[in-house]
């Protein structure tokens, strides 16, 4: 697993992780104007400044461009956006601030797509899709964009009330709530397409939906998660008198073997190969190297990696603070040498200077925190690139591999549970149940002091 840091071996490398090397500033055609702000920082020619200042909605456009600049958008990109805003105003006849609907934006995009002569003459190769994207982003920022909420009533109302219940009353996490919302909304959409009111639903109808999912090729484990969401929904629906009683009790879930012979993560030798492989020195590779090291050595969940902050690394005392996502437990570990070196290199050479305090952020402006989906893609792509086979991919596969490796080393179940941040020993079986020989060996070790 590697050795923790000793003494102050890392302290001299990074005394303050927040003070990062700034990005290179794009070259300007003319020197910047002292104390300039707004358009003067973007457009360097007087003719361009005059054209942009004389166009309608100057204040709105200037605030929007300043907002994009604060997010880290390059000057070159801001020039392109600012010029596109002039075309949006021209083609949509926006002379003053007013409500704008999506249909009007689409009409403007069609005009832009057909204005081939103007675009060719002026060197614009942007499509109607780009026109729509910039227009909606600016109009929404300026509070001019009007969205017509299309709801499938009352199903959408049912879903949102259910989500509010599990989020506020049951206290479920953001990712769990999101998963339940998607599954319930998909079921309600299917039921609406069948032309059946929710109050008329029977257990036979629900079983038919579950069977349909199995027959369409979904894995039993995924269908079981759908059943779990439907059980929660129908329990809530029965309380609110939306559905017939006792449906939740009768929902049958697909059988999942209690002991799965196939490991859910890669072999530790393959994880070691992933950690040792040199994917390059570009920012994306350095960020991926830090992510895989944290996920493998500390067996973190993807949400725990996402939520890591710059302040969670105490470089002087060489301690990392982990906030567990499921039970809000806070744990501290020594900064392992390999992990520390990779995180430091990412901070010094790859992480952009931005206002976000999360450890991992996007590499291109506008900067934002990475999400769990991005982490899955980063890890999965590198596992597949090395030809490493695994039942699951992503950060959680590394977590499972770490737990299995600890089991093979003879670590007790209690120590593994504590290391993974679990509150009980039963949860450890999720990661290690496939290796029954190792479990028997650990059980024999644990019983020696008792018998």
State the catalytic residue, choosing from 111, 178, 224, 326: 326
Query: Using CA atoms in the order 344, 347, 349, 355, what is the torsion angle rounded to 10 degrees?
Result: -170
Q: Where are the beta strands (DSSP E) in 204-327?
A: 313-314, 319-323
Edge-to-edge strand order for the sheet containing 313-314? 313-314, 319-323, 330-334
CA distance 44 to 82: 13
CA distance 399 to 300: 6
Q: Is the dihedral of CA 177, 179, 180, 185 positive or negative?
A: positive
Q: Which two tokens stand for residue 156?
A: 């959408």
CA distance 415 to 320: 18
CA distance 379 to 291: 8
State the catalytic residue, choosing from 124, 185, 422, 434: 422
The residues near 338 (Cβ < 8 Å, ≥ 6 apart) are 2, 275, 293, 297
Query: Catalytic site residue 326?
Result: yes
Query: Catalytic site residue 422?
Result: yes
Nearest to 240 by CA among 198, 186, 188, 177: 198
Query: Catalytic site residue 396?
Result: yes
SS3 59: helix
The DSSP result for 203-237, as a single string, is HHHHHHHHHHHHHTT--HHHHHHHHHHHHHHHHHH
What stretch of H or E contains 360?
A: none
Q: Is the dihedral of CA 13, 15, 17, 21 positive or negative?
A: negative
State the catalytic residue, choosing from 124, 301, 324, 351: 301
SS3 254: coil
Q: Where are the beta strands (DSSP E) in 232-329?
A: 313-314, 319-323
Query: Catalytic site residue 301?
Result: yes
Query: Catalytic site residue 23?
Result: no
Q: Which two tokens stand for residue 38?
A: 């707004």
The residues near 237 (Cβ < 8 Å, ≥ 6 apart) are 158, 162, 198, 243, 247
State the catalytic residue, choosing from 342, 396, 400, 405: 396
CA distance 242 to 333: 49
Check: CB of residue 58 under 8 Å from CB of residue 64. no
- Supply the Cα-derived Rg of the chain in whole angstroms: 27
State the catalytic residue, choosing from 345, 356, 399, 434: 399
Q: Which residues belong to the active site?
A: 301, 326, 396, 399, 422, 431
């Amino acid at each position: 697993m590697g050795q923790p840091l000793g003494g102050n071996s890392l302290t001299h490398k990074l005394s303050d992780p927040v003070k990062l090397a700034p990005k290179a500033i794009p070259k300007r055609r003319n020197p910047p104007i002292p104390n300039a702000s707004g358009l003067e920082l973007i457009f360097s020619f007087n003719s361009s400044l005059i054209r942009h200042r004389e166009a309608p909605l100057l204040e709105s456009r200037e605030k929007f461009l300043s907002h994009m600049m604060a997010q880290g958008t390059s000057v070159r990109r801001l020039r392109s956006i600012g010029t596109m805003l002039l075309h949006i105003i021209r083609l949509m006849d926006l002379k003053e601030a007013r409500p704008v609907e999506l249909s009007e934006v689409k009409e403007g995009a069609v005009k832009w797509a057909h204005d081939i002569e103007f675009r060719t003459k002026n060197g614009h190769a942007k499509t109607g899709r780009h026109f729509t994207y910039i227009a909606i982003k600016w109009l929404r920022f300026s509070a001019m964009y009007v969205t017509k909420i299309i709801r499938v009533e009352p199903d959408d109302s049912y879903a949102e009330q259910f989500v509010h219940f599990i989020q506020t009353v049951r206290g479920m996490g953001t990712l769990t709530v999101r998963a339940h919302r998607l599954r319930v909304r998909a079921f309600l959409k299917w039921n609406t397409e069948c032309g059946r009111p929710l109050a008329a639903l029977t257990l036979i109808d629900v079983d038919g939906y579950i069977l349909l999912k199995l027959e369409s090729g979904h894995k039993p484990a995924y269908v079981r998660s759908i059943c779990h969401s439907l059980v929660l929904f129908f329990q809530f629906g029965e309380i609110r008198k939306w559905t017939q009683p006792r449906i939740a009790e009768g929902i049958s879930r697909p059988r999942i073997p209690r002991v799965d012979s196939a490991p859910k993560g890669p072999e530790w030798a393959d994880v070691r190969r992933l950690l040792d492989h040199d994917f390059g020195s570009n920012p994306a590779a350095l960020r991926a190297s830090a992510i895989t090291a944290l996920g493998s050595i500390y067996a973190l969940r993807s949400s725990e990696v996402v939520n890591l902050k710059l302040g969670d690394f105490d470089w002087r005392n060489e301690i990392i603070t982990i906030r567990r996502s499921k039970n809000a437990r806070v744990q501290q570990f020594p900064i392992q040498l390999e992990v520390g070196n990779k995180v430091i290199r990412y901070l010094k050479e790859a992480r952009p200077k931005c206002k976000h305090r999360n450890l991992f952020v996007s590499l291109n402006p506008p900067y934002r925190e990475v999400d769990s989906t991005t982490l899955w893609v980063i890890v999965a792509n590198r596992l597949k690139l090395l030809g490493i086979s695994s039942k699951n991919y992503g950060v959680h596969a590394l977590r499972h591999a770490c737990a299995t490796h600890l089991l093979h080393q003879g670590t007790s179940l209690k120590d593994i549970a504590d290391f993974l941040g679990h509150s009980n020993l039963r949860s450890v079986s999720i990661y290690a149940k496939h290796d029954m020989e190792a479990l028997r060996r650990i059980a024999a070790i644990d019983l020696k002091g008792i018998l």
